[in-house]
Amino acid sequence: MTFLKQTLIFLFVLTATGLHTHAQVLDHSWKDVVLKMDDSWYGTTEAQDIAEQVLLYQKDNGGWEKNIQMQNPLSDSEKQKLQASKSDSNRCTIDNGATYLEMVYLSKVYKHTKNEIYKTGFLKGLNYLLEAQYPNGGWPQYYPLRKGYYTHITYNDGGMINVMSILQDINTGSKTLGIPVDEITLEKTQTAFNKGISCILKTQYKQNGILTGWCAQHDETTFLPAKARAYELPSLGGVDTAQIVLLLMNIEHPSDEVKRAVEAAATWLEKTKITGLKEERYMTADGEKEKRYIEDPNAEPLWARFMDLENNTPFFCDRDGIKKASIMDISRERRVGYAWYNTQPNKVLKVYPKWKASLKPTPKDSYKVTVAQDGSGDYTNIQDAINNSKSFPYDRITIFIKKGTYIEKVHVYEWNPKITLIGEDKNETIISFNDYFKSINLGRNSTFHTSTVLIEGHYTQLKNLTIQNTAGPVGQAIALSINANACLIENCTILGNQDTVYLTGENHKQWFKNCFITGTTDFIFGNATALFTDCEINSKSNSYITAASTEKHTAFGFVFKNCTLTATKEANQVYLGRPWRYYAKTVFINCNLGKHIKAEGWHNWNKKEAETSSFYAEYNNTGAGANTKNRVPWSHQLSKKEAKTYTTKNILGINAETEWLQ
């Protein structure tokens, strides 16, 4: 055989094989290429070639456009156009599987090849999803935001649930995706997932006061069902509900709220299933595609895509936006070209009994419980432990919290007094959230809704915990808020920026012992009486430490005894305090004041009258910032006799060191 002939045969075989393999891929939709190929295929050269195209389609902001068959070969000119359009991100979306499918595909190819460019593309997509999330936890259909229904929180076609499934996979150790992330990114994905769950719980629709299912779209502000296209009216949806419930049932240690949501939705799906009806597709005499629904007692149950919000009645809609009672009352184009019924809820009802049986029973009226994220305790999150605590108990309830970062908003209610939250390790038992003024968006008083931990139960104790608001320097963002009397905060680290600790309630008294508190502006504020002993108060910027708003007839405001005032290198001009309200009272006794404390010491907040109505004083302080020579003339230096009145008993009451600690 001649060399030329051998070469021609080789090229023919190579070309034929390549065309055959390529044809196999092209026979699939992009979704099938991502989800249904044999696992080993994702390590092939062909799969990597497609991955290169996926990266080419990715926009600079990390997202992708929808309805693109990524596996189709591209010409050189098409590649050039894509490269030139990377900065145009206006059509990036999570609709129809966009961004989700591309990220899953890159992860599968990376899993086999370990090529860092695929990991980089995946992480870039992840950053896009994190950036696109609303502060309330939902995701819009398009990001950057586009006007119209695209801004709604979108469950339609699995939009938000696809995103949540990626986050869930990362949070549980990338069991499917195979792309590990660093600790900072992991914390972001955990926060995003928890906020997403919170959004899901808030959007579950109540019908006559009873939880049911979810809708395709919910308003991003009110959480109410919302309209999309003309034929997509506000309604309850079987398929949207099913996808959400399957996600919730996949949470390893579900909270009580999640359990209630699943149970209510499963009940609603059982109630709304349609039996004895079968879809039949056929060709009309004129060669047009058509479908109808016929009676069949053996048919698998169906659920309507759209159900009336008041009575669950299925309805159908044409492009005129008018509800119809029968699918035959709408045009053939809409009847055939849209999925009006779905069987996916059958999967929910099939796995629900097993999920229900797997739930660990919660303890009843226990006075000592344990919270552990790994499921080894009585609860996996702190709020569930509080919610199941006995109201107005005679004895103290102790909730022991094992090491871990608990990304949740914690609320100790007024009917939960005498609760102790005690961490296993101050540095490794962390309660964290990231709400801030603008993210709350509830008007001028949004600050007071931002707290990571909110205490309203009297005699609450917090010990060996780190409590943080991780929103960053974005304005008011409370880490710890206390509106209760006789609360003890001991050996805790409280981290934030502006407004870190809010202490409030007329006649309320609180005690901080051996704590570390850091922030930027007014990071200890409010009208309660609070004693700080042996604490480190750390300033992160040139601003004000305290902003008391003490009531006129209250004897003591904020009192710092034996505390150390420190600062980061960025802070070198810090005031001890300023009056949020006219009768503010703040005193520092036997404290070490760092060199960052301004010579003037105090600021009047541009309220001249506050100079006479407020009371700012110091006694026997040390350190570079303790020189009182240049203090503002309206501040006070206590006499030895006056200083003696600042005892724990006088400030907090005679029972502070006995009853408070019981």
Catalytic residues: 499, 522
Going from the C-alpha of 486 to that of each of 208, 507, 659, the distances in angstroms are: 41, 10, 9
Q: Strand pairing partners for 577? A: 546, 602
Q: What's CA 12's distance to the chain center, in Å?
A: 56
Q: What are phi and psi of 588, to 5 degrees?
A: -115, 125
CA angle 452, 457, 461 (to 5 degrees): 75
Which strands make up the sheet holding 516-519, listed edge to edge? 404-407, 429-433, 466-469, 493-495, 516-519, 536-539, 564-567, 592-593
Estimate the crossing angle of helix 100-113 against helix 159-171, to 10 degrees.
Answer: 30
Q: List, as one string, the DSSP characters of 182-224.
A: -HHHHHHHHHHHHHHHHHHHHHSPEETTEE--B-SEE-TTT--
Tally of CA atoms within 13 A in the half-sphere of 156 that contains its CB: 28
Q: List, as one string, the DSSP characters of 241-300.
A: HHHHHHHHHT-SS--HHHHHHHHHHHHHHHHH-B-SEEEEEEE-TTS-EEEEEEE-TTSP
DSSP three-state, residue 591: coil
- Contact at 8 Å (CB) between 241 and 161? no
In angstroms, the CA 241 to CA 396 distance is 41
Of how many residues is the chain composed? Answer: 662
**Please, which residues have CB within 8 angstroms of residue 657's CB and are 6 or more apart in sequence?**
648, 649
DSSP three-state, residue 123: helix
In angstroms, the CA 258 to CA 201 distance is 7
H helices present in 423-556, as ranges: 437-440
Sign of the dihedral through C-alpha 189, 192, 193, 194? positive
Going from the C-alpha of 154 to that of each of 72, 163, 249, 499, 584, the distances in angstroms are: 28, 11, 20, 34, 48
- Contact at 8 Å (CB) between 540 and 498? no
In angstroms, the CA 270 to CA 205 distance is 16
Q: Which residue has the tokens 């009145």?
A: 645
Cα Rg, the chain, nearest whole Å: 31
CA angle 643, 644, 649 (to 5 degrees): 115
- Let me know if 308 is exposed, middle or buried by CB neighbors in 10 A (0-12, 13-18, 19+): middle
Beta strands 323-324 and 316-317, pairing class:
antiparallel
Q: Strand pairing partners for 513? A: 490, 533
Q: Which residue has the tokens 């950036």?
A: 131
